[in-house]
């Protein structure tokens, strides 16, 4: 009996555990809170990610370890990797945890990025704003997620407010200033790399964010196949450079038909949730296969799929379940503003059928604004 350890017990760990059950896998989740939602399906150890006693107990009970959460302290990942196999490797995790390190790697690999500069002091912020220009975004280098730890600078007059909001973080987690990209669309590549270096991607996904949080994803993205190939090639290079094992996502902006890399998520990704019902093998199943050294499953799609995120509280399931290709995922979390509590995937065999289903779901839930951009994309050729 193989036990997979997962650091972090959120919905990603929960969906990993659910997808691993048919493989006969056991799971052990470590989280710093006892009510983490993966704990409803897997035994847990609860403790701080830096606590050696908790980490030692976790390591002693698992055959291999992976992450649901990219902000596990890199020293803890390193400590664990000296005792048990850890995938992805701690270097890949450390690179993806730091926006400066990841953007530097993108550049080194010839993957275009928005202009950026590391910021340690107020003087550097002023100099970087002058150099990069406005609008731009000041971000924490580490620990940000769902758009947290970011300040949008519209004009140079916003520099004071940006520094008031994030300046104190400069000495703690570091800061980075990035040029604001007026993108036509956001895309992501969800990719998997096996222990033997075998590399696969799922079809390119188009994403819509609201207030910095993912709201909807559509696969395959409505872009031409040459652009998708460029995105897959960027992901392949990254996977090789990091000697990555498992699933990762590369977030991209598309501007004037060109791709700019935003960030790398060293784990299964929200923009890949549609793969559960929309592809031959889900990102969760393939992540487990990769970390266990099993053959990777086919990533081909079955039709088209749209994923809708539920933020804050769960809506009624009925309009989604009433659709022929409607699927429901409730993470079993308590409602809280801004929290990802569940998602739905709507699958169909044609763009027209998917648009019709989404229209009914939008009306049924009173969430037209969430489905409209996806329906508009489906109308594009």
53 to each of 27, 75, 155, how far by Cα in Å? 19, 14, 49
Find the part of the chain contacting ligand ATP (CB under 6 A) among 167-175, 179-187, 297-305, 329-337: 179-187
Contact call for residue 145 and ligand ATP (CB under 6 A): yes
Residue whose structure tokens are 């004071």: 160
Distance from C-alpha of 136 to C-alpha of 133, rounded to nearest angstrom? 7
Distance from C-alpha of 48 to C-alpha of 73, rounded to nearest angstrom? 10
Judge contact between 117 and 129, C-beta under 8 A.
no
Find the part of the chain contacting ligand ATP (CB under 6 A) among 21-29, 173-181, 318-326, 331-339: 173-181
Between 212 and 364, whose beta carbon lies closer to ligand ATP? 212
Find the part of the chain contacting ligand ATP (CB under 6 A) among 52-60, 142-150, 283-291, 329-337: 142-150
Residue 294: CB minimum distance to ligand ATP, A? 28
Q: What are phi and psi of 257, to 5 degrees?
A: 75, 5
Between 18 and 216, whose beta carbon lies closer to Mg ion? 216
Known binding-site residues for ATP equal 99, 139, 144-150, 178-181, 186, 209, 262-263
Q: Quick one: what does residue 372 bind among Mg ion, ligand ATP, none, with the CB cut-off 5 to 8 Å set by partner type?
A: none
Report helix, strand or coil for 146.
coil
Contact call for residue 115 and ligand ATP (CB under 6 A): no
Q: Quick one: what does residue 189 bind among Mg ion, ligand ATP, none, with the CB cut-off 5 to 8 Å set by partner type?
A: none
Determine the size of the site formed for ligand ATP (CB under 6 A): 16
Residues paired with residue 329 on neighbouring β-strands, in sequence order: 343
Determine the size of the site formed for Mg ion (CB under 5 A): 2
Between 98 and 251, whose beta carbon lies closer to ligand ATP? 251
Residue 355: CB minimum distance to ligand ATP, A? 23
Contact call for residue 147 and ligand ATP (CB under 6 A): yes
For the sheet containing 3-7, what is the strand order? Answer: 44-46, 26-31, 3-7, 64-67, 85-86
Distance from C-alpha of 237 to C-alpha of 248, rounded to nearest angstrom? 12
Judge contact between 177 and 138, C-beta under 8 A.
yes
Residue 61: CB minimum distance to ligand ATP, A? 29
DSSP 247-267: EEEEEEEEETTEEEEEEEESS
Between 88 and 114, whose beta carbon lies closer to ligand ATP? 114
Contact call for residue 263 and ligand ATP (CB under 6 A): yes
Report helix, strand or coil for 280.
coil
- Taking CB under 6 A as the rule, which mask of x and - marks residues 198-227 in contact with ligand ATP? -----------x--x---------------
- 217-374-315 Cα angle (round to 5): 70
Between 251 and 277, whose beta carbon lies closer to Mg ion? 251
366 to each of 8, 142, 319, 362, how far by Cα in Å? 33, 36, 10, 6
Between 41 and 67, whose beta carbon lies closer to Mg ion? 67
Among 12, 137, 162, 346, interactor with ligand ATP by CB under 6 A: 137
Contact call for residue 177 and ligand ATP (CB under 6 A): no
Judge contact between 67 and 7, C-beta under 8 A.
yes
Residue 303: CB minimum distance to Mg ion, A? 26
Residue 313, token pair as written in the block: 């509280």
303 to each of 136, 279, 280, 325, how far by Cα in Å? 38, 8, 11, 10
Residue 212: CB minimum distance to Mg ion, A? 8
Residues paired with residue 201 on neighbouring β-strands, in sequence order: 191
Q: What are phi and psi of 282, to 5 degrees?
A: -75, 165
Q: Quick one: what does residue 20 bind among ligand ATP, Mg ion, none, with the CB cut-off 5 to 8 Å set by partner type?
A: none
Distance from C-alpha of 329 to C-alpha of 164, rounded to nearest angstrom? 39
Find the part of the chain contacting ligand ATP (CB under 6 A) among 174-182, 309-317, 319-327, 357-365: 174-182
Q: Quick one: what does residue 154 bind among ligand ATP, Mg ion, none, with the CB cut-off 5 to 8 Å set by partner type?
A: none
DSSP β-ladder status, 116-119 and 213-219: unpaired
| 241-300 binders of Mg ion (CB under 5 A) | 251, 263
Residues in touch with ligand ATP (CB under 6 A): 114, 137, 144-148, 178, 180-181, 186, 209, 212, 251, 262-263
């Amino acid at each position: 009996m193989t036990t997979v350890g997962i650091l972090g017990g959120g919905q990603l760990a929960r969906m990993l555990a659910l997808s691993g059950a048919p493989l006969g896998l056991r799971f052990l989740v470590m989280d710093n809170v006892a009510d983490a939602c993966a704990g409803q399906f897997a035994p847990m150890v609860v403790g701080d990610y830096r606590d050696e006693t908790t980490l030692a107990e976790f390591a002693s009970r698992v055959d291999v370890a992976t992450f649901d959460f990219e902000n596990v302290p890199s020293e803890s990942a390193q400590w664990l990797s000296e005792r048990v196999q850890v995938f992805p490797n701690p270097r890949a995790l450390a690179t993806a945890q730091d926006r400066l390190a990841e953007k530097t790697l993108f550049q080194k690999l010839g993957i275009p990025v928005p202009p950026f500069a590391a910021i340690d002091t107020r003087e550097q912020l002023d100099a970087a704003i002058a150099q990069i220009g406005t609008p731009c975004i000041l971000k924490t280098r580490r620990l940000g997620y769902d758009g947290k730890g970011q300040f949008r600078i519209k004009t140079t007059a916003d520099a004071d407010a940006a520094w008031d909001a994030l300046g104190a973080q400069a000495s703690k987690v570091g800061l980075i200033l990035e040029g604001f990209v007026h993108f036509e669309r956001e895309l992501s590549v969800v990719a998997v790399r096996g222990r033997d270096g075998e590399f696969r991607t799922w079809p390119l996904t188009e994403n819509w964010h609201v207030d910095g949080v993912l709201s909807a994803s559509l696969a395959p993205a409505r872009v031409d196949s040459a652009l998708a190939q460029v995105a897959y090639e960027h992901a392949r290079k990254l996977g090789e450079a990091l000697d990555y094992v498992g699933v990762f996502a590369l977030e991209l902006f598309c501007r004037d038909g060109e791709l700019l890399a935003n960030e790398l998520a060293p784990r299964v990704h929200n923009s890949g949730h549609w793969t559960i019902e929309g592809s031959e093998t889900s990102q969760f199943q393939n992540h487990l296969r990769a970390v266990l050294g099993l053959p990777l499953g086919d990533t081909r799609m079955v039709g088209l799929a749209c994923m809708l995120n539920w933020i804050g509280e769960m809506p009624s399931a009925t309009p989604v379940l009433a659709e022929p290709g409607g699927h429901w995922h409730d993470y079993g979390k308590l409602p809280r503003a801004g929290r990802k509590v569940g998602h739905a995937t709507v699958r169909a065999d044609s763009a027209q059928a998917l648009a019709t289903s989404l229209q009914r779901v939008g009306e049924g839930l009173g969430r037209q604004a969430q489905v409209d951009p996806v329906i508009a994309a489906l109308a594009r050729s």
